[in-house]
Amino acid sequence: MVIIRNAGINWKEGESMGLFFNKKKPEEPAKPTIAYTMEKPSVHGYAPQDVPYIEKYAMAAMIHSYSNGSKLRTSISDFPKYMGFRYGITDPVSLQNELIEDGYLEKAPQEVALQSLPIADIRTIVKAFDLQSTRKKSDMIESIQKNINPDDLTLDDVYIPSIMGELYVEKYSYVFRLERYSISPKEYDDFADENEHLILPNDIIFRLLEQRYNNASISESYGLMRNALLNSSYLLCDEGRYRDGMVYLLGVLRYDLASMARSGILYGDEDFEIAPGIIDLLIKYRDYYDDAVLSKAFTRYIITDSVDTPASLNDLMYDIFSGLLSKE
Name the strand (E) or helix (H) holding 232: helix 222-238
Q: What are phi and psi of 9, to 5 degrees?
A: -135, 135
Residues 187 and 142 in one domain: no
Pick from 220, 230, 231, 222: which is nearest to 184 by CA?
231
Residues 146 and 262 in one domain: no
Residues 295 and 150 in one domain: no
> Residue 189 pLDDT > 60, yes or no?
yes
In this predicted model, what pLDDT tens digit does every residue of 255-288 receive, in sequence order?
Answer: 999 999 999 999 988 889 999 999 999 999 999 9
More confident residue, 60 or 39: 60
Q: End of a domain among 141, 171, 201?
A: 171
- Whether residue 238 lies inside any domain: the answer is yes
Please give the Cα distance from 125 to 9 (Å, whole number): 9
Give mean pLDDT, residues 157-172: 96
- Whether residue 177 lies inside any domain: the answer is no
Please give the Cα distance from 96 to 113 (Å, whole number): 18
Please give the Cα distance from 100 to 159 (Å, whole number): 9
Q: What are phi and psi of 2, to 5 degrees?
A: -115, 130
pLDDT at 328: 57
Q: Which of 12-21, 99-108, 114-123 has the lowest mean pLDDT?
A: 12-21
How many structural domains is the chain composed of? 2
- Whether residue 89 lies inside any domain: the answer is yes
- Whether residue 328 lies inside any domain: the answer is no
Pick from 65, 61, 57: which is nearest to 160 by CA?
65
- Whether residue 176 lies inside any domain: the answer is no
Pick from 190, 179, 109: which is nearest to 150 by CA?
109
pLDDT band at 36 (very low <50, low <70, confident <90, very high): very low
Residues 161 and 43 in one domain: yes
- Quote the domain boundaries for residue 91: 2-171
Residues 64 and 135 in one domain: yes
More confident residue, 101 or 33: 101
Q: End of a domain among 150, 171, 192?
A: 171
Q: Which residues of 302-317 are buried (b: 16+ CB within 10 A; e: fewer)?
A: ebeeeebeeeebeebb
Residues 166 and 223 in one domain: no
Residues 281 and 190 in one domain: yes
pLDDT at 1: 56
> Residue 33 pLDDT > 50, yes or no?
no
Give mean pLDDT, residues 111-121: 86
Q: End of a domain among 129, 147, 171?
A: 171
- Whether residue 83 lies inside any domain: the answer is yes
- Whether residue 310 lies inside any domain: the answer is yes
DSSP 115-157: HTS-HHHHHHHHHHTTPPP-S-HHHHHHHHHHHS-GGGEE---
- Distances in whole angstroms, Cα of residue 235 to Cα of each of 85, 159, 173, 201, 218: 23, 33, 15, 11, 24
Compute and round to an integer the Cα radius of gyration of the chain.
26
Please give the Cα distance from 178 to 195 (Å, whole number): 17
Residues 7 and 112 in one domain: yes
DSSP 181-215: GT--HHHHHHHHHH-TT--SHHHHHHHHHHHHHHH
Residues 19 and 140 in one domain: yes
Residues 151 and 46 in one domain: yes
Residues 21 and 163 in one domain: yes
Give mean pLDDT, residues 189-214: 97
- Beta strand spans in 193-293 (E): none
- Whether residue 314 lies inside any domain: the answer is yes
Residues 143 and 202 in one domain: no
